[in-house]
Amino acid sequence: MSTGSRHGSGDQQASPSSSGRRAGPTSFIHFNNGVSVYRGKLDGQTVIVKAYEALGFDGLLREITAYERLLYLPTVPKVVGVFGPSDMAWAALVIEDRGISLDSEQHWATLPLQDRVMIYDTAVDFHLAGVHHGDLAARNFVRDKEGRLSIVDFGHAVVGHACEPDVCPELSDLRQNLGL
Ligand SMILES: [Zn+2]
């Protein structure tokens, strides 16, 4: 029975954007420090959507800057886009979905040596590219169905970092946490 909608497209608020992209249903992942994270579909691709409240825009800018700097690294997801309302009450960063957080599997000190070495090599790569992550933890590494690891969440990152990996504090802490 009709409910009297005159728009013919149901009661969903979402609508195709002017670029003709199609968004699919989203599922909530978590909320922390004013940032809500969702998994959704865009043009048939699974994506991660991080919605920042205005108070957290500093973190959003840090993420965008770091992702741009690390565009060429295969272990870092690509940014699909950034969107928000015209009043900028919030803004959302959309990145490729690279899988499930390691934190939901096991603590990283118990990961196979091969994974721990891969995590460390990934961190060295982005340090050499001039990025200090600022929040290196198992929850910020994700693994896809093929077993490939990626690093995410650059909300505390500093771009312009220069270091010698053997003596860099963040990398030294990481080696210790990984038992390397
Ligand atoms: Zn460093």
Residue-level pLDDT at 19: 60
What does the pLDDT read at residue 33? 82
Å from CA of 131 to ligand 1 middle: 7
End-to-end CA distance of the chain: 65
Q: Which residues of the chain have pLDDT under 70?
A: 1-19, 104-106
pLDDT of residue 14: 45
Rounded to two decimals, the pTM is 0.83
In angstroms, the CA 9 to CA 77 distance is: 33
Give phi and psi for 104, each to the nearest 5.
-80, -5
pLDDT of res. 40: 93
In the chain, where the domains are located: 27-96, 100-178
Q: What is the 133 CA–ligand 1 centroid distance (Å)? A: 9
CA distance 1 to 17: 29
Pick the CATH number of 27-96 from 3.20.20.10, 2.30.110.10, 3.40.50.12240, 3.30.200.20: 3.30.200.20
Question: Ligand 1 mean position to 174 CA, how many Å?
Answer: 11
CB 99 within 8 A of CB 142: yes
> Which of the listed CATH numbers 1.10.1040.10, 3.40.640.10, 1.10.3720.10, 1.10.510.10 matches domain 100-178?
1.10.510.10
Residue that the structure tokens 């691709």 belong to: 45
Q: What per-residue confidence (pLDDT) applies to 124? A: 97
pLDDT score of 84: 93
Query: What separation in Å is there between the alpha carbon of 118 and the centre of ligand 1?
Result: 16
Kind and range of the H or E run holding 49: strand 45-53
Structure tokens at 32: 């922390």
Question: Ligand 1: distance of its center to the CA of 154 in Å?
Answer: 14
Distance between Cα 167 and ligand 1 center (Å):
8
Q: Helix (H, G, I), strand (E, B), or coil: what is residue 163? A: coil
